[in-house]
Every structure is written in structure tokens, then in C-alpha cells.
Chain A
Amino acid sequence: EVQLLESGGGLVQTGKSLRLSCAASGFTFWRFAMTWVRQAPGKGLEWVSSTGGDGGDAYYADSVKGRFTISRDNSKNTLYLQMNSLRADDTAIYYCAKDAQNDNGMWDWFDSWGQGTLVTVSS
């Protein structure tokens, strides 16, 4: 059974940093692209960042580009999101999600999601 467990959320001041983790199990982690998606209070789902199976490529939404860094440690089956220069509008539940297919040259739908970790940015 695929499991994704996010951690690292919490209350942080504006301008500070936070690192989120997503521990994966139940599948061959290194073979699948992974993505972070967030949901601000009262809002819908927003794509944040994605990386391929080997972690060599990284893509970001314009709203986080230059501030957030996605990475992965395939030896630990863990995905990360380093968030710097946090702003109030980064307040959200952050979900990690697993790409549905591997090795097909596409960014696919998400067949598994974690329960999310809440990040609250306040002055």
C-alpha cells in the first residue's frame, strides 16, 4: 500500500524558513516523479513544485519561484520542500503527491496523496 506522510509544518514568522518532508513507502520511490500541492484556507488546490524520479529536474509555480526548493533523497524515500522568505500568503496545507506512472516522459495525474501538513506564516 502506498503511503505518503508529510511533516515539518508549523507556525513561522514572515521572512523565516521551514523545511517540509514527505516520507514515502509502498512503492519504488526513485521511479516516480513527485509533486507538492497546497491549499490555502478557504481556497482550492494549487500546484507548487514538481521533481522527476532522479531529482535532477525541478519546476516551480511562479508564486514560489526563487524562494522554494524541491529535492529528494531516494536512499531515504523522502521528498523535501525547503521554503525560504515565507510570506503570509504561503499559509496553507501542503500535500505531497505521487505521479501515477513512471518512465513515460509525462507529468501524469496523482494517484496517491498524503494527508498534508499545515504551514502558518504570521508576523
Chain B
Amino acid sequence: EIVLTQSPGTLSLSPGERATLSCRASQSVSSNYLAWYQHKPGQAPRLLIYDASSRATDIPDRFSGSGSGTDFTLTISRLEPEDFAVYYCQQYGRSLPFAFGQGTKVEIK
């Protein structure tokens, strides 16, 4: 069973700055089956990235995913006001359980 560890827990940045979020797996993630979600209070989580680096439909290109094996990164190139939220990584694949990281909160500095 894979455990995902996200860092940092909280990222304090200003609009326009670059955000770099990390997700580390306890073992190699098969075929880079890793997704990223954005979650705001009172809303449904929103898919951003799947297969580690593929952007979901209608996701702005300031969001990008990278990495392989056990180390993955979500980068937001220039933070917009609406990007302040909690971000989760998730592992999926041919067997369960699904694993989620504990989340990184991106807050306004």
C-alpha cells in the first residue's frame, strides 16, 4: 500500500508568485498514475492533472505536473487569486486502495 507525503503543509505566497508543491510516494508509482486536485471549502474537489503531467480539460496552462517514480511536483507558474486553495495528490492504478496525500494549503501571504 502506497503512502503519499506532501510538502510543505502550507505555502504562503503572493499573487503572481510561483508555487511548487511536492508529493513523495513510499514506493514507486506504477506508470506515473498520479493525479492532482484543487479543493476549496464548500466546493467539490477539482481535477487538475492526471498521469502525473496531463492537464485536465479546461485547466489553465499555469498549472503543470511533473515527476516520476516516487517524486512528483505540481507547479503553478503565476498564482492567481482563485488559486489559493488546498491541493491533494492521489495515486491510482490496477488495484485499490486509492491513496491521497495529506494536502498542501496555498495561502495568501
**A interface list, Cβ under 8 A from B:** 4, 35, 37, 44-47, 50, 59, 61, 95, 97, 100, 105-116
Minimum-distance CB pairs A-B, first 9? A109-B35, A113-B44, A47-B98, A44-B103, A109-B50, A45-B100, A44-B102, A59-B96, A113-B45
- Contact check, A50 vs B44: say whether CB atoms are below 8 A apart: no
Interface of B is mostly: loop
**B interface list, Cβ under 8 A from A:** 33, 35, 37, 39, 42-47, 50, 56, 86, 88, 90, 92-103
Chain A residues with CB under 8 A of B96: 47, 50, 59, 107
Query: Bound complex: CA of A22 vs CA of B46, how far in Å?
Result: 18
- Contact check, A106 vs B94: say whether CB atoms are below 8 A apart: yes
Residue of A44, A106, A113 near B92 (CB, 8 A) is A106
Are A45 and B39 CB-contacts (below 8 A) given A61-B97, A95-B45?
yes
Interface of A is mostly: strand
- Contact check, B98 vs A107: say whether CB atoms are below 8 A apart: yes
Least distance between A36 CB and chain B CB atoms (Å): 11
Chain B residues with CB under 8 A of A112: 44, 47
Least distance between A61 CB and chain B CB atoms (Å): 6
Least distance between A58 CB and chain B CB atoms (Å): 10
Least distance between B95 CB and chain A CB atoms (Å): 7
